[in-house]
Structure 1
Amino acid sequence: IHEARMIPVDGRPHLGPSFRLWNGDSRGRWDGNTLVVDITGYNDKGTVATNVATQRVRAIPQSEQLHAVERFTRVDENTIDYEVTIEDPKVFTSPWKVAMPLHREPDYQLFEYACHEGNRAVPNTLSAGRARDRK
């Protein structure tokens, strides 16, 4: 949740095969007005997707062979088309793709994510914010 990535766009190569990261190793390049992000170097501890809507976590596993290619294309002032192609020959029989528009919400506020396992600070975080709002 709210994870940020550094995506070099200067042509440097991916990290070597001894580096295996939870979110992989991203490298970007521009193709016209589309940012293309190539991601390799995943570890085999994560998951491609989860669904907690049924109150049970269901996840799609991943292997160290996971390779993802993301494409971010600005369509207009308020829309980016997002597309990702997933390939992992240890898990899937063939590559698959997801595509969706990302729409800007002018009134959306992004709050700091202050939740983690064993977190006891949430009441303090919320009460401090509410105290600030009362001023």
Structure 2
Amino acid sequence: MAEIKRCKNGFATAVDGVTRVVSSGELVSTDDPVYTRDRRDLFEDVTTHVSQQAAGRARAAGKGVEQATAAPGEKRDLTPPAPFDPAEHNVADVLAYLGTVDRDEALRVLDAEAGGKKRSTILALREQYEGPSNLPPADPDGDDA
């Protein structure tokens, strides 16, 4: 079965008496007469090139390259992760999680805790998250009359 290869360095060669120029970056089938055993080192797998380019762009942007989450041929699981359940974690983990989420998620977790294990250390934080939202709205005229 033929494969597609990418030319790493351009070259010219005679094919059936006609000069053929293969440019750097050109894609060539392994069935093509310009792809011979003597010229294999002038080509690379397309996937190798794409991976190298992605890694280079990621390095330039200061980011790592995302790794695939499924083996080749397997479908990725697109099901979103289950919501954080405080009952499945110890107090330290719940407190750490609450420090990383927005107000709505924190209140959801605190509600789950109130309906579950009811650990006082965690439930004591509710006022911290409810406080400012229970204040009356600011006076739009600014006269506070």
- Please state which band the TM-score falls in when normalised by the shorter chain: under 0.3
TM-score, structure 1 normalization: 0.22
More helix by share: 2
TM-score, structure 2 normalization: 0.21
Q: Looking at CA atoms only, which structure, 1 or 2, has the larger radius of gyration?
A: 2
